[in-house]
Amino acid sequence: MIGRLNHVAIAVDSVEKASAVYRGALGAKVSEPETVAEHGVTVVFVELPNTKIELLEPYGENSPIAGFVAKNPAGGIHHVCYEVDDILAARDQLKASGARVLGDGEPRIGAHGKPVLFLHPKDFCGTLVELEQA
């Protein structure tokens, strides 16, 4: 079921400041910021040869990552994203095995314009997992 690692997401207080660090210190190619209001974040992607780093900044009063950033003001790894060939089949298989899908269990469109789901960290070794339709 699990495919390639799509990205590792790092929550930050400012994607502008974090982008400057990745560009300046590491010489990375960083995308322009994009606000994904439905998910309550502003994101940029750091392009790597084999995957991406997603830098997330809270957007709006109800941002699901605002609490995380408040507890981790220097930032920190928020989630990992894996690709799956069929997100609905993956969801159904995971639910049948006892894994908890967050939200209403229906895929939403993510920052890449593809359907995504999030899985409860307690079911995956303390790590919030995002699945993205390949």
d(C-alpha 24, C-alpha 11), whole Å: 19
* Domain assignment of residue 20, given as a range: 2-133
Q: What is the pLDDT of residues 31-69, one digit of tens each?
A: 999 999 999 999 999 999 999 999 999 999 899 999 999
- How many structural domains does the chain have? 1
Name the E strands within 2-124: 2-11, 29-30, 34-36, 41-47, 52-58, 76-84, 108-109, 115-119
Annotated catalytic residues are 130
Q: Which pLDDT belongs to residue 87?
A: 98
What 3-state class would DSSP assign to 94? helix
**Residue type for 43, please?**
V
Q: If DSSP codes are grouped into helix, strand and coil, which group holds residue 92?
A: helix
Long-range contacts: 119-127, Cβ < 8 Å, 24+?
Answer: 119/94, 123/98, 123/99, 124/99, 127/79, 127/80
Answer yes or no: is pLDDT of 12 > 90. yes
Q: What is the pLDDT of residues 67-118, one digit of tens each?
A: 999 999 999 999 999 999 999 999 999 999 999 999 999 999 999 999 999 9
The model's pTM: 0.94
pLDDT, residue 39, reads 92
Please report the pLDDT score of residue 11 as a whole number. 98
> Rounded mean pLDDT of 17-38?
96
Q: Which residue has the tokens 């006892």?
A: 98
pLDDT for the residue 56: 97
**What is the CATH number for 45?**
3.10.180.10
Closest listed residue to residue 81, CA positions, set 29, 18, 124, 38: 124
Block residue for tokens 């919030």: 128
pLDDT of residue 61: 84
